[in-house]
């Protein structure tokens, strides 16, 4: 999907050697065209119930570049094991049933109960992560029961959901801590009870490796640095604004705290507003910012779909052309397709984006499973960042639902069942 085919065996082998140097995980299995040996596979070895390898095509699909794996050797092995499992065929009808019903039995008779505990699960990004969690769980026969809970943005309910999971003696918990360190007491309570707790999307709260097992994702300070570099180059001078999710959430704070000081002195950050990742709130927030600062030249935000559904409508209502520079964390198809339409009449529009990172939840899940087997898990599992230029790499990928991310590892046929057109 994200690149052309190589025309020769020599080209394939040269690519494989370069990839081996880049990822540093040992030998590669190389398939020559027509050999029937299968695609390039990255990594060798295994342990703790895992095989530390994944197809280069899988890695390229979800990471943009197969070499963009964690640099830490142990973290890299966990990532390879997790993403390699995405290649396993599972019961997609059962996965869809689990996704719709929130709680399900896998039918394997497995002794483990696994839980994905959300404080907020009411957008497509979170629901795709929910499905990635289910699909990953179904690759483990020892998992017999899958639980999903969302607190619908209620902190007290989120804490209660965690306590309920602990009382049920679940085997592991994956979460995104929307309320930051307010979730630490229950995360630590689970950890003290022997339940590994892993976060994804760089859901960083205090004490990974001690208060909870690990945090998976891109180092969001580096995301902020990448956003700042794009703004400095493309905006140069003028007013820009930040949008974020829930007040105090670690994802927003991570990139915002690092982008702001790196902006050049001629760029003025005139607004930084939470949106709860709700498109309708995005629209009202952007409308308010535009009323006070009508010449915004750039926006930084995590949620591309929210920008497409909210900000563009606010500009239209204000009678303003949509010509800003956008730096976004997610690669939502809707924003990519809308960008392509708007670019025709708004030539100044620019967009830079990262992968949505839904598959990071698979890595968090596998890290917790390996912990149950006795593996030593790094407190952080960090993926490198490479922003994509929409003008050079189109995120409007044909056939994908508008609110989906094309870097997800959910099979396209299943995505269409989740989100019928």
Q: Is residue 373 part of a domain?
A: no
Do 79 and 128 have their domain in common?
no
- CA end-to-end span of the chain: 21
Instruction: Give, in order, the Cα–Cα distances in Å from 350 to each of 175, 182, 235, 311.
Output: 33, 37, 10, 15
Do 343 and 229 have their domain in common?
yes
- Domain with 31, as residue range(s), is 9-85
User: What is the percent of the chain where pLDDT is above 70?
Assistant: 91
Do 155 and 246 have their domain in common?
no
Supply the pLDDT for residue 17: 30
Supply the pLDDT for residue 242: 98
| Residue with the two structure tokens 């999971």 | 165
| Residue with the two structure tokens 């007290």 | 156
Supply the pLDDT for residue 30: 30
Give me the chain's average pLDDT, please. Answer: 91
- Identify the CATH number of the domain in which residue 202 sits: 3.40.50.2300
Q: Is residue 13 part of a domain?
A: yes
How does pLDDT run across 234-260, given as a tens digit for each residue? 999 999 999 999 999 999 999 999 999
How does pLDDT run across 176-205, given as a tens digit for each residue? 999 999 999 999 999 999 999 999 999 999
- 270, 295, 304: which is closest to 124 by C-alpha? 304
Q: Is residue 123 part of a domain?
A: yes
Residues of the chain predicted below pLDDT 50:
1-37
What is the DSSP annotation of 83-99? HHHTTS---HHHHHHHH
Do 123 and 193 have their domain in common?
yes
How does pLDDT run across 4-44, given as a tens digit for each residue? 333 333 343 333 333 333 333 333 333 333 333 456 888 88
Do 40 and 107 have their domain in common?
no
Q: Is residue 418 part of a domain?
A: no
Supply the pLDDT for residue 39: 67
How does pLDDT run across 212-241, given as a tens digit for each residue? 999 999 999 999 999 999 999 999 999 999
Q: Is residue 411 part of a domain?
A: no
Distance CA 296, CA 268 (A): 10
Do 129 and 189 have their domain in common?
yes
Do 74 and 124 have their domain in common?
no
List own/partner pairs for 159-168 with CB under 8 A and 24 or more apart: 159/183, 159/185, 159/186, 161/117, 162/117, 162/186, 162/187, 162/189, 162/190, 163/189, 165/115, 165/117, 165/190, 165/195, 166/190, 166/193, 166/195, 168/113, 168/115
In the listed set 328, 353, 378, which residue is the last one of a domain according to the structure?
A: 353
In the listed set 290, 325, 353, which residue is the last one of a domain according to the structure?
A: 353
Do 58 and 154 have their domain in common?
no
Question: What pTM was computed for the model?
Answer: 0.87
Strand pairing category for 41-42 and 28-29: antiparallel
């Amino acid at each position: 999907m994200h690149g052309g085919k190589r025309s020769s065996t020599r080209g394939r082998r040269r690519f494989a050697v370069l990839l081996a140097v880049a990822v540093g995980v040992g030998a590669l299995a190389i398939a020559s065209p027509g050999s029937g040996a299968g695609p390039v596979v990255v990594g060798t070895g295994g342990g703790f119930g895992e095989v530390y390898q994944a197809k280069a095509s899988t890695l390229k699909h979800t990471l943009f570049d197969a070499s963009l794996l964690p640099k830490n050797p142990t973290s890299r092995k966990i990532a390879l094991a997790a993403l390699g499992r995405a290649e396993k065929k599972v019961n997609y009808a059962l996965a869809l049933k689990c996704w719709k019903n929130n709680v399900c039995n896998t039918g394997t008779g497995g002794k483990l109960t696994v839980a994905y505990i959300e404080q907020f699960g009411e957008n497509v990004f979170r629901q795709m992560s929910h499905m990635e969690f289910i699909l990953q769980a179904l690759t483990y026969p020892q998992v017999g029961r899958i639980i999903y809970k969302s607190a619908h943005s209620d902190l007290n309910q989120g804490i209660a959901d965690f306590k309920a999971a602990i009382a049920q003696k679940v085997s592991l918990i994956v979460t995104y801590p929307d309320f930051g360190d307010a979730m630490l007491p229950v995360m630590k309570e689970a950890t003290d009870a022997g339940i590994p707790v892993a976060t994804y999307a760089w859901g960083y709260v205090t004490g990974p490796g001690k208060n909870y097992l690990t945090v998976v994702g891109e180092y969001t300070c580096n995301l902020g640095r990448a956003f700042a570099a794009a703004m400095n180059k493309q905006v140069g001078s003028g007013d820009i604004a930040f949008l974020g999710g829930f007040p105090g959430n670690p994802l927003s704070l991570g990139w915002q705290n690092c982008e702001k000081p790196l902006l050049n002195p001629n760029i003025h950050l005139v607004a930084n507003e939470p949106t709860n990742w709700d498109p309708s709130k995005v629209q009202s927030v952007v409308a308010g910012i535009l009323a006070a600062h009508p010449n915004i030249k750039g926006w930084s935000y995590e949620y591309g779909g929210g920008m497409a559904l909210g900000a563009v409508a606010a500009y239209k209502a204000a009678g303003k052309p949509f010509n800003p520079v956008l730096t976004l964390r997610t690669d939502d198809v809707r924003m990519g397709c809308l960008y392509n339409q708007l670019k025709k009449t708004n030539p100044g529009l620019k967009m830079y984006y990262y992968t949505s990172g839904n598959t990071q939840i698979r890595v968090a899940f596998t890290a917790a499973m390996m912990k149950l087997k006795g593996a030593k898990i790094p407190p952080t599992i960090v993926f490198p960042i490479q922003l994509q230029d929409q003008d050079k790499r189109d995120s409007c990928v044909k056939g994908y639902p508008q609110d989906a991310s094309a870097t997800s590892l959910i099979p396209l046929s299943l995505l269409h069942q989740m989100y019928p057109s």
